[in-house]
Amino acid sequence: MAFQDTQVTSQQTQAVSTNKVLRNTYGLLAMTLLFSAVTAGAAMALGIQQMNILVFFIGAYGLMFLVHKTANSAAGLLATFAFTGFMGFTLGPILSAYLTLPNGAQLIMTALGLTGLTFFGLSAVALVTRKDFSFLANFLMAGAIVLVLAMVAALVFQIPTLSLMVSAGFVLFASAAILYQTSEIVHRAGETNYILATITLYVSIYNLFVSLLSLLGIMSQD
């Protein structure tokens, strides 16, 4: 009986911890997305041109590295907003370019709506079904390598079909990452760092939105 009581107490403690991480993660995610929207709007208002791809990679990966180094301290929150603010700022010129198209505003709103529906739908699957999606870890690792190489090839050789495949690949990759990260919070007691969880979900949403926007642009022949 004592063992059963201890087991029940342990499960209750884990459930409370999981709910706390989920609450903190989604709260911080909402704030970072809002902050990104503000920095994207600022970039559009200032007429900022699209950033050099090398500068983008250095800034994005440099700030992401900073987030991981400071994730266990208060500085991690500042690093998180620096990273997401930078990503939003780089998104501004992309949105400005789409707004010059005849149906640009419609494409952006459609991509935004699809991104939101996909995120909430996949999160609900992981939270409601409680299914363990840890098996996606190897797929994500291999997928990341393949997508980076394909993206570099698409930029170097300017192959439209390859660019289309990269965008579609990022949609699948981002969807799998959302399922995996949400599942890790639910099933792994060690996944208690909401800053790292937030960054993973934020990058997935960012990639999902940009990729859907690209696909919609291609399909509309714009």
- The Cβ of residue 19 has, within 10 Å, a number of other Cβ atoms equal to 12
Residue 194's pLDDT is: 85
Percent with pLDDT over 70 in the chain: 89
Q: Which amino acid is at 38?
A: V
Q: What is the rounded average pLDDT for all residues in the chain?
A: 85
Confidence grade of residue 3 (pLDDT, cut at 50, 70, 90): very low
Residue 10's pLDDT is: 46
Instruction: Read off the tokens for 58.
Output: 């250095």
| Measured distance CA(174)–CA(205) in Å, rounded | 7
Instruction: Read off the tokens for 83.
Output: 């990273």
User: Worst-scoring range by mean pLDDT, 53-57, 58-62, 75-79?
Assistant: 53-57
- Looking at per-residue confidence, does 12 or 73 come out higher? 73
Residue 14's pLDDT is: 54
Instruction: Report which DSSP code applies to 103.
Output: T
Q: Which residue has the tokens 């911080």?
A: 28
* Region of 48 on the Ramachandran plot (φ > 0 left; ψ -120 to 50 alpha; else beta): beta
Percent with pLDDT over 90 in the chain: 44
Total domains present in the chain: 1
Q: What does residue 113 show for φ and ψ, rounded to 5 degrees?
A: -65, -45
Domain hosting residue 187, numbered range: 2-219
The burial of 194, by beta-carbon neighbours within 10 Å (0-12 exposed, 13-18 middle, 19 or more buried), is given as buried
Write the pLDDT tens digit of every residue in 117-168: 999 999 999 888 888 888 888 888 888 888 888 887 877 777 777 778 888 8
Contact 29, 198 (CB under 8 A): yes
Confidence grade of residue 12 (pLDDT, cut at 50, 70, 90): low
- In this prediction, residues 61-67 reach a mean pLDDT of 94
